[in-house]
Amino acid sequence: MTLKIAIVTGGASGIGLACAERLAADGMRVVIADMNENAGAAHAKRLAGDFVLADLTQRKGCRHLVDETLRKHGTVHVLVNNAGYQHVAPIEEFPEDQWERMIALMLTAPFLLTRYCWPAMQKQKWGRVVNIASIHALVASPFKVAYIAAKHGLVGLTRTAALEGGESGITANAICPAYVRTPLVDNQIADQAKANRMSPEEVIGKIMLAPAAVKRLIEPAEVAGFVSYLCSDAAGTITGSALTMDLGWTAR
C-alpha cells in the first residue's frame, strides 16, 4: 500500500494536533505546518513526521509548505486546512488589520494550499482536502465578523474544489464543529468569564452550550476521527459537504 503524505496546518495545537496524531496512527506520514516552532517540531518528531515552520497568512509561507513537502516526499495525498484563530470585537471597532489577517489565514491560505497541492493530487488520481470550518460557517454570532466571513467563504471554496476534483478522485469537505475543547476555546471561556462575571463552568453551560442539544464540549480527538474517516477510501463518495458536528446546535 502506498504511504500517504498528509499536510496538517496549525498542527502544533488543539484540533490540528489531534488530526496529526490520528492520521499518523492511521499510517500516514504527517507534515505539520505551524508558526509555533517548539511545539510543532516536538510533535512532528514524536509522530515520526515532518515540521515546516510557516506563517500561513503569507503567500510565501503557503508556497514554502507545499514546496518542502513535494521536495521531501514527491507528492501529497491529504490536505487538512485547520490553522485559525479568533478575534472578537463589534464591527465598528473591528481592527482592519485583523480582518485582513484572519481572511488571509482562514480563507486565502486554504485556497492557495489547495491550488498548490492540486497538480500532485490530480496526477495520482487521489486526494483528500478537509477544511476545518466551524458551525460559524453556517450560522453567525455577533462580534466575530472576520471569523464568520472567512468560514462561510471556506464552504464556498470546499464546494468548488469538490466539483473540480470529482473526476480526478479528489474529494473536498468542510467539517463544521461547535465548541471544541482546545486552547482557542479555553481563551474564549476565560474572556467571557471576565466580561460576564461568571465562572468558567457557567460560561460553558449558560452561554456556549445554550443552543446545544448535547450539553458538553467536543473533544479534539472526535473531530480528528471524522477527518480520518473523510480521508479513507470508504469516504470516496462524500464530497462538497459542509458536515456539521455541532451538538445539535443547528437542528432547531
Least spacing, CB of residue 55 vs ligand NAD, in Å: 5
Please say which residue, 171 or 188, places its beta carbon nearer to ligand NAD. Answer: 188
Tell me if 13 contacts ligand NAD by CB under 6 A.
Answer: yes
Binding span for ligand NAD by CB under 6 A among 32-40, 43-51, 70-78, 193-201:
32-40
Which one among 185, 224, 230, 242 touches ligand NAD, defined by CB under 6 A? 185
Residues classed as catalytic: 147
Please say which residue, 126 or 249, places its beta carbon nearer to ligand NAD. Answer: 249
Least spacing, CB of residue 199 vs ligand NAD, in Å: 19
Which one among 5, 7, 8, 12 touches ligand NAD, defined by CB under 6 A? 12
> 38 to 97, contacts with ligand NAD by CB under 6 A?
54-57, 82-85
Which one among 5, 7, 8, 15 touches ligand NAD, defined by CB under 6 A? 15
Least spacing, CB of residue 146 vs ligand NAD, in Å: 11
Tell me if 122 contacts ligand NAD by CB under 6 A.
Answer: no
Please say which residue, 126 or 227, places its beta carbon nearer to ligand NAD. Answer: 227
Please say which residue, 52 or 162, places its beta carbon nearer to ligand NAD. Answer: 52
Tell me if 182 contacts ligand NAD by CB under 6 A.
Answer: yes
3-state SS of the chain? CCCCEEEEECCCCHHHHHHHHHHHHCCCEEEEEECCHHHHHHHHHHCCCEEEECCCCCHHHHHHHHHHHHHHHCCCCEEEECCCCCCCCCHHHCCHHHHHHHHHHHHHHHHHHHHHHHHHHHHHCCEEEEEECCHHHCCCCCCCHHHHHHHHHHHHHHHHHHHHHHHHCEEEEEEEECCECCHHHHHHHHHHHHHHCCCHHHHHHHHHCCCCCCCCCECHHHHHHHHHHHCCHHHCCCCCCEEEECCCHHHC
What whole-number distance in Å separates Cα of residue 90 and Cα of residue 222?
32
C-alpha cell, 71: 521536495
Least spacing, CB of residue 168 vs ligand NAD, in Å: 26
Distance set, CA 152 to CA 66, 81, 158, 177, 247 (Å)? 25, 14, 10, 13, 19
Please say which residue, 126 or 204, places its beta carbon nearer to ligand NAD. Answer: 204
Tell me if 153 contacts ligand NAD by CB under 6 A.
Answer: no
Which one among 5, 8, 76, 132 touches ligand NAD, defined by CB under 6 A? 132
What whole-number distance in Å separates Cα of residue 91 and Cα of residue 96?
10
How far does the chain reach from its first CA to its final CA, in angstroms?
44
**Residues binding ligand NAD (CB under 6 A):** 10, 12-16, 34-36, 54-57, 82-85, 105-106, 132, 134, 177, 179-180, 182-185
